[in-house]
Amino acid sequence: MRVFKFGGASVKDAAGIKNVHDLLQKVGYEDVLLVVSAMGKTTNALETVVAAYFDKSATLQSSVQEVKKYHNQILLDLFEDENNEVFTAVNGLFFDLEYFLSHNKSPNYNFVYDQIVSYGELISTTILSHFMSFMGIKTTWIDVRNFIKTDSTYRDAEVDWDLTQKNISKNVKRKVLNITQGFLGSDENGFTTTLGREGSDYTAAIFAYCLNAESVTIWKDVPGVMNADPRYFENASLLNQISYREAIELAFYGASVIHPKTLQPLQKKEIPLFVKSFINPLLPGTSVSKGEDLVPQLPCFIVKKNQLLVSLSSIDFSFIMEENISEIFGLLHQYKMKVSLIQNSAISFSICVEDKFGNFNELKNILAKKFKVSYTENVSLYTIRHFDEKAAQMVEDGKEVLLKQVSRETMQIVTKEAI
């Protein structure tokens, strides 16, 4: 079985849905499992619904209607007959969403977030499955929540691999086109969980691992894995082949083309990963596979915007020792701060972090009881794998360098854009 993952950009409108159909005609769809994200910017739109719900805002109903209107237009563009059962199916999902909004009693933001945002994937896969049937391709629609079981860490759930393996290996049908949702799972109580933003790649890897898949292909709007993000760097080049290790390093440092958790399950069973263009599906793209010699022969640039550079120093000028660092990391874990860089001296400790869940102000107040805390907001963290001086100079030009760290293969530079 092959596993294909389609992100939101590939199914953002009716033309995108039709392109997925055409792509499958070219590359084959028997014994394939599709993992599909929410359409376009639907997750962002549903996050607006969550915010309006907790703010008790008068805009709650209108924010839900915006999501409805967006999907209804796609339906009208795809299906000539409004009596097609897909309209009933999608309306049923919106009914369930509105029922939850009117009856939920939980004050837990993360729990509510997962229950609401999950409708993006449920709706997108319902529309895609019905369209495939409409075009004569029989599909099996899978509710991923019955297969991927997790703990109850809402918004960033951990997979129960044993139970998930049993569910998937026993119940996924072979020799058909399966369609399921990325990003989602469920806990032991049956409540929806999510695997972290952009977690659909990880979903594809979970299914591939449990099914001993032939391969995983992530379909993107770029030709494959590039040595730099074309949005920020001119003349980005395609990496034709890279090793699992190199891909894991790039993903760890923030390369957006592959989700960080995706690669380890594939590496364990040596399942090859392909990153290809859904615009030109017959191009080779990038292959990720076993091989220590599959190392890029040019510098690879990764940039993470909107980071925080935080420096902690001891109030009494005493050394920052192991017990202090242990306490700091315990708090960073507790407040779900993603640490991308660490640098320490005798009396100071600096970190570049991503405040994904908006917890920094609360964390800062805790840290300030024991440390002098200084920080700079909205910095950019550049990571250069296989760097050279020319690559470093290109990053530094026109920017204020706040911190630089160099190891054997990797250089990291924290900058503030020059005004």
Residue 400 main-chain phi, psi, to 5 deg: -90, 120
The answer to whether the CB of 36 falls within 8 A of the CB of 122 is: no
Q: Rounded to 5 degrees, what angle do the CA atoms 334, 335, 341 make?
A: 100
Residues 6+ apart with CB under 8 A from 66: 45, 48
d(CA 187, CA 194): 10
d(CA 226, CA 238): 4
Inter-CA distances, 61 with 68, 75, 109, 275, Å: 11, 21, 19, 39
* Known binding-site positions for ATP: 231
d(CA 14, CA 131): 10
Inter-CA distances, 411 with 388, 389, 397, Å: 9, 10, 15
The greatest distance separating any two alpha carbons of the chain, rounded to the nearest whole angstrom, comes to 74
* Known binding-site positions: 231
